[in-house]
Structures are given as C-alpha cells and as structure tokens.
Amino acid sequence: MPQDPSSKLDWFDAATRRLRSVAEGLKAPENQELEEVKSRTLIVVRTRWILLLFVGLYCLLAGSFFYFSRFGFFLSPSQQVLLFAALSAVVSYNLLLQFGIERIACCFRFLNFLQIILDLVLVTVLIHTSGGAASWFWPVYLIVTIEAAFLIEERRDVWFVGLCGGALYGEILSLEYFGLVPNVRMPFVEQKLHHDPLYLVLTWLWVSLLNAAMVAIASYLMTVIRRETVAVRDGEERLSTFLDTANDLILSISPDGRVLYVNEAWQRTLGYSAEEAAAVSFFDIIHPSSREQCCSEFKRVFSGDALGPLEAVFTAKDGRLVIVEGNLTCSDSSGDSPVIWSICRDITDRKHAEEQLYRLAHHDTLTGLPNRILFMDRLQQAKALANRYQHQVAILFLDLDRFKIINDTLGHPIGDRLLQQVAHRIVGCVREVDTVARIGGDEFTIILVNVDNPEDVKKMGQKILKTLAAPFLIDTYELFVTTSIGVSLYPTDGESLDHLVKKADIAMYYAKGEGRNNVQFYSPRMDENADKRLLLETSLRKALDNREFRVYYQPKVDIVTKKITAMEALIRWEHPLLGLVSPGEFIPLAEETGLIIPIGEWVLRAACMQNRQWLRQGLPQMRVAVNLSGYQFQQKNLLETIRGILGETGLSADLLELEITESVIMQNPDFAVSVLNQLRDLGVHISIDDFGTGYSSLAHLKRFSVNTLKIDKSFVRDVEINSADAAITTAIIAMGNSLNLKVIAEGVETEGQLSFLSDNNCDEVQGYLFSTPMPADKVAGFMREYGGMVEAG
C-alpha cells in the first residue's frame, strides 16, 4: 500500500533529531543509556513537583475546612511538625535531583531505588498523620509504584518496591494497632476501627492487592513502551546508519540556510566536517552560478510545488567544483519551522566524461578545432543568422599543398605538429565569431559570417596565404607550407549546406590547378572541371599500364650563341576520350594519389633512353632536363633510382638535368641540402624551377648545390610593361650572376622579352619564341632545321 508522504517526512524529522544527538557526542551506547536514565529521572522529578503541588493544595484546603468546621483543627503540634518535615524532605531531595543531577549521574541506579524508598517512607508518614487505617492518602502508594515501574527496568525490582510499599503500610497499621505509635483521630471515623483486627487486615489486604495489581499493570505497560522505544530507536539507528553509509549526498537545511545535518558521503565529497558545515551557510557552499536557481527552487518547494531533478554546483572546502544532481523535499508536518531535505549524487565525473565525449565527438583531437560534425552545426547556425540579418556566409575550403611529402619524409609526428601550428595561425587570422574546423588530413574549413562584400573574403584568403608563408620551425627543421583555398558563398552559390561545402571543395581543386597557393571563388564552370577531374582520376590509375603517356621536348637556348643547350622533357597524357591532357590537369591528381612516383620514374627513364638514342643517331651531346616532383625528391631511394636508370640507359650523369621547384626544396631546406649535395657528387646538373615564386633567401641559395636558376614565366610575361616584374627579373639575374649560377628564363614569347633578358645578361631562354614542346621523333628534324646548333652545358 502507498505510504503517506507525511509519515516519510516525520521519519526524516525523527532521524534529524536523532542525528543531532549523535552530533553532540552521544554516539556511545553507555552515554545513550545514561542520558535516557537522566531524562527519566527528570521526568519523575517534574511529576513529583506536580504531585506535591496537589498534596499541598489539598492539605491547605482540608486544614481550612476543618479549622472553620465544628471539629476544628485536630492535628497536634507534633503531628504538624512531622507532616511538615515529611513534605520538606520530599522537596529537599527533589531539589537535589533537579539541580544536582549532573554531579550525581554516576550513581543513578542507587538514586532511583533511594528516591523510591524515600517516597514510600514519606507516603507512609503522610498516611499515618492523616488517619492511619482511616486515611484516604493510601492511593499515593500506587503513584509511587508507577514511578518505580517508570524508573526501574527490571520487573523483579519493581515487584520488590511494591512489596516494600505493602510492608510499610502493614507496619504502620500494626504499630498503631498495638499502640506503639499513637493513631491520629479523624473526624467521621469510628475510633474503634483502629483496634479492629478484621478491618485492619482487610484494609491492608486491599491496599496490598491494588499495589500488586498496579505493579503488574505498570510493569507490563512499561515493558511494552520500552520495547516500542527500543524498536523506534533501532529504526532511527538503522536510518542513521543508512544515511551515513549511503553513497548519495544527504543534507538537511533550514529556511535561513543553516545546515542541520550532513551525512558522511557529503562530508567526504565536500571536505567539510559536520561541525564545519553547521558553521557555514548553505548558500555560501552553493557556487554563484547555481545560487539564484537554488534560491528559486527553495521558494517553490516551500510553497508546496513538486520539483523534478535539480542540478547544482557546490564549492568544496578546497575550492573544487562539485556538480550534483538530486531532489528537494520540504518537511513541515511537525508544526515547527519547515526543513528542506536534499538527496543528491555527485555527478562531477559523469559531467566531465560527458564533456569529454562531446568534445571528442565534435572536435579534432589533434588541433582541438571543431570537426566536420560541429562545423556543419555551426554552418547551420550561420545560415539562420544570415537569413535573419540579410548577410552572406562564406565557406573557405583549405588544403595544404604537398603536405604528404612532409609526412612521408619527416614522419607523422612532425606532420602532426605542423598541422597544429597551421591551425593556430589560421585561427589567428579570423574573427572570434568565425569558425575554423579541421575536417580530415590536411584539409581545413572556415565559416565567415556577416559577409557584406566578397572582396572582404578574398582579403581574408590573402591574409591566410601570407600568414602561412612564414617558415614553420619544428625541432631542427625549417618548413614552408602553402595552401590552396576554394570559396563558396551563401546564398549566392546555393541553399544546401552540403552542396556549398562541395562547391568550396571544387573551387579549392581549381586553385590547385591554377598553380596552388591562391584563392578561387566557385563558379558553375568549375563543375565541368570537377567532372573531368573525376574522370581523370579514374583513368589515371590505368594510364601507365595502357601506355597512354607521351614525352614532349622543348629546347633551351643560349641567349648569346643561340645554341641549344638542353631539351626539357615534358609529359603529356593522351587520354582515349579526352585527347591530349596537359600536365597541369593531371600532375596534381598524380601527386594526391601517389601515382606521381611511378609516373616520374617512367618519365626519367624515357628521357634518358631518348637522349641516349639521339646520341646514337649522331646528334650532338646535350642535356635532357626532367622535372622532379616534390614527392620524388623526398623519396629516400631517390639516389638509387637515378643511379639505376643511368646505368640501365647508359647515359652519362652530366647529360641529365633535374629541375626542382623552389617551393619543394624550401619545404625542408636542411633535407634539400643533403640530397642536392649527393646529386651534385653524382654529376647531375641541378636547376631550381619557378624561381621567384617561393621563399628562397640568399643564405639558402649559398647552401644549395645547384647550377641554374630558372625564372618563372609569370615574371617574364610582363617584363616589357610591368616595372615590378622587370625589377624582380633583373634582381634574380643579378643574384644568379653574383653566385656564379646560370640563369634561364622560361616563357619567352616575344622579341621584346628576349631583348630585355639579353640586355640584363640572362644566360639562357626557353619558350614559344623558339619552339613549342614537340614529340621525340620531331626533335632531330627540328635541330637540323634550326641548324643543328647544340651546345652541351
């Protein structure tokens, strides 16, 4: 059957009172027993005062009535003295018990018997002075018997007291009968009754039997009461033990915030002892972040509202924050001030675990940035805000250029630390309202909110490129990283968030196709490139086995003698469906897929074999230049591969030229120095390609074992009309000359460009002005047509 809620609250209130007594140092069983005996004695003392009050009042009224009656006051002076002495004795030892109980607590058992015997003796005296056998004061014996049953636990002792009462009554009747003690004459009573044995025996027998009945009844009732008391005490003790051994935190609080009770789990968790908890306010223990909510919930529970589970934060004694979850219950059934009981559990570890799980589920473990899940959630929020305030949202998709090289050569620990530093720099470029996420590998995404002008997005992209351009120092390595950035805009480029991210991704790949390290905004025409890229990626894996690659050659010409110094090998892909595919379209794919390694080796072997064939055909000696991918350059077996190809083809090492881009060797300059020195010792000619677009300094150039600097065509294109490009080109030529390096300019298409380069002492040129890339079978004819002028470098 359901229990009455008020009974539960009474049970808790009883526990509170019990536990308060425990807190006051009464935990030992002997102390509890002593306290209970003391309490019973004080109850008897107070009861005796009440009885004395009524006896005194009765004596006063009876004496007054007799005094003014026809009988007059019949007590002799000696009897009055005896009556007064008896009453004074009762008052004296009652005062002694009330005010000296603490001093005589050690002998309570003896005192209980003594005061009961004294009560019996004094009652007997009062019976004698009030008529002896004719006195109606004998029922006080019954009261003393009840007192004995209340004070004395052993039933045989109570029977002994009852027998003493009967014996004393019989003794006083006997003494009066034999005249040893004069009896008091009472009005309305025949004097001869004091000398009638039958009357005296029957009176004594009646009083004794009633006293015995009272002993039996009082002993039985007190046994039952004591048994019930023990049961209640045991229940309270069990509750006390349960509360103190419970794992939950249990406390009782008054309306003004006083802590009335705390269990051991609460003390252990928060570091306060019960005494320390009672000395502080509950609202001081509550953390400020939860204080207002707790005060509000307190008011509700005081008003009788039913509350659900409540979370709060406590401040432990040592300053730790303890998060708890529990319920509040108000107890006011006793009519006293209401008391709040709180039963809660420590969920600090659970909360921390939940936060950790949430962070693991929504953040990248390496960089701490939001992951794809949280990124999409933030993007959804940014979309909602953009709709409300009529702004745009920009999505930037970043992919680090040639990051795989670092992982493959320096190891993943270095790569991971590089990613952490890259993430830190990117976060430093954006606003707090923006979001930077890492969605996998070396790919990052950015959400720019409150965008009014796409030009601002472009400036942000340029800022990121510039920030990442500075070298990264990791251990002893100085690393350089670039990134390609694709941008899509909401709502310009669509409504679907997934499609917007995909379009930013497409724009990023377009940026890679445009030479990397740049920012590209999505446009619909890029979708065609994306479809084409998918087709190329699928076909690329079979192209080498299907012999779809071709090598074209473009001559390098001495600017003074106009002699051909070398032929640069340029790979082309003859796709069965798309026709001739330029390297700019499939080389990035080859690098991403790792196919650049076998493709690069194939080109190197084909170029060496072709140069060897030209020599057999009687053509003059000239170098063949092969572009070396960054992934090839970082391979540990690069030297063995080159030696093997040279030995296989029979080509001399001095007739091989390797072109390595400036950005590749600057990714890890220390590593580059080591490899370039070994290539130089091998006799291979080294050229730095796309010079001017990277981060080379004069100090680095002095360390590199290179032969030629190749000026990027982006500077050569406008040397006639752009003063900045002209200045850069002039500076590169001067730098090369000062370091005794040959300088070659690529992309020469006009006589004006050639004239400018010649005037500034450039050594060699290459470009459409002399020849476009041509198949190998046309090189011999071109050289004969050109005049067969070849100068081996």
Contacts of 279 (CB under 8 A, 6+ apart): none
pLDDT: which is higher, 464 or 80: 464
Total tally of structural domains belonging to the chain: 4
Kindly state whether residue 791 falls inside one of the protein's structural domains.
no
| Beta-carbon-side half-sphere exposure of residue 131 (alpha carbons within 13 Å) | 15
Tens digits of residue pLDDT in 509-540: 889 878 789 999 999 888 877 777 778 888 88
CATH number at residue 678: 3.20.20.450
Kindly state whether residue 252 falls inside one of the protein's structural domains.
yes
Residues 41 and 187 in one domain: yes
Crossing angle of the two packed helices 497-513 and 525-543, in degrees rounded to 10: 60
Q: Beta-strand (E) ranges in 452-496?
A: 472-474, 477-479, 483-490
Residues 691 and 552 in one domain: yes
Crossing angle of the two packed helices 497-513 and 372-389, in degrees rounded to 10: 110
Summarize the confidence of residues 9-37 as an average pLDDT: 52
> What does the pLDDT read at residue 686?
93
Measured at the CA of 677, the angle between CA 671 and CA 683, to 5 degrees, comes to: 140
Residues 392 and 318 in one domain: no
Say how many C-beta atoms besides its own lie within 10 A of residue 279's C-beta: 11
Position 166: which residue type?
Answer: G
- Paired with 642 in beta bridges are none
Contacts of 665 (CB under 8 A, 6+ apart): 633, 672, 676, 688, 704
Residues 325 and 232 in one domain: no
Residues 474 and 575 in one domain: no
CATH number at residue 405: 3.30.70.270
Q: Which residue, 501, 523, 545, sits at the end of a domain? A: 523
Per-chain mean pLDDT for the chain: 84
User: Which of 4-13, 238-247, 297-306, 471-480 comes out lowest in average pLDDT?
Assistant: 4-13
> Phi/psi class of residue 537: alpha, beta or left (left: φ > 0; alpha: ψ in -120 to 50)?
alpha
- Distances from the Cα of 738 to the Cα of 238, 246, 692, 732, angstroms: 97, 85, 16, 10
Kindly state whether residue 727 falls inside one of the protein's structural domains.
yes
Residues 34 and 87 in one domain: yes
Q: How far apart are CA 251 and CA 272, in angstroms?
A: 12
Nearest to 719 by CA among 690, 687, 751: 751
Kindly state whether residue 544 falls inside one of the protein's structural domains.
yes
Nearest to 132 by CA among 204, 62, 61, 69: 204
> What does the pLDDT read at residue 690?
79
Residues 27 and 139 in one domain: yes
Q: Which residue, 498, 523, 548, sits at the end of a domain? A: 523
470 burial type by CB count under 10 A (0-12 exposed, 13-18 middle, 19+ buried) = exposed
pLDDT: which is higher, 369 or 348: 369
Residue written as tokens 């894996």? 541
Omega within 30 of 0 (cis) for the link into 139: no
Tens digits of residue pLDDT in 117-158: 888 888 888 888 777 777 777 888 888 888 888 888 788 888
Q: What percent of the chain has pLDDT over 70?
A: 90
Tens digits of residue pLDDT in 636-653: 889 999 999 999 999 999
Distance of CA 93 to the CA centre of its chain: 69
704 burial type by CB count under 10 A (0-12 exposed, 13-18 middle, 19+ buried) = buried
> What does the pLDDT read at residue 569?
95
Kindly state whether residue 337 falls inside one of the protein's structural domains.
yes
For residues 248 and 344, the answer to whether their CB atoms sit within 8 Å is yes
Residues 386 and 488 in one domain: yes
Residues 454 and 547 in one domain: no
Residues 544 and 475 in one domain: no
Tens digits of residue pLDDT in 336-348: 577 888 888 888 8
Summarize the confidence of residues 755-763 as an average pLDDT: 93
Summarize the confidence of residues 240-253 as an average pLDDT: 82
Nearest to 553 by CA among 595, 597, 513, 613: 613
- Distances from the Cα of 178 to the Cα of 168, 169, 172, angstroms: 15, 15, 10
pLDDT: which is higher, 121 or 188: 121
Kindly state whether residue 528 falls inside one of the protein's structural domains.
no
CATH number at residue 279: 3.30.450.20
Residue 575 dihedral angles phi and psi, to the nearest 5°: -75, 140
Contacts of 483 (CB under 8 A, 6+ apart): 398, 399, 400, 401, 464, 465, 468, 517
Can you give the residue range of the structural domain that contains 337?
246-353
Kindly state whether residue 214 falls inside one of the protein's structural domains.
yes
> What does the pLDDT read at residue 59?
75
Residues 565 and 684 in one domain: yes
Residues 73 and 147 in one domain: yes
Q: Which residue, 288, 320, 353, sits at the end of a domain? A: 353
Burial readout 590-626 (b: 16 or more C-beta within 10 A, e: otherwise): bbbeebbbebbbebbbbbbbbbbebbeeebeebbbbb
pLDDT band for position 693 (50/70/90)? low
Summarize the confidence of residues 200-219 as an average pLDDT: 87
- pTM, two decimals, is 0.57
The H-assigned helical ranges of 155-273 are 155-177, 197-245, 264-270
Q: How far apart are CA 39 and CA 32, in angstroms?
A: 10
**pLDDT > 70? residue 106:** no
Q: How far apart are CA 586 and CA 584, in angstroms?
A: 6
Kindly state whether residue 532 falls inside one of the protein's structural domains.
no
**pLDDT > 80? residue 187:** no
Q: How far apart are CA 258 and CA 255, in angstroms?
A: 7
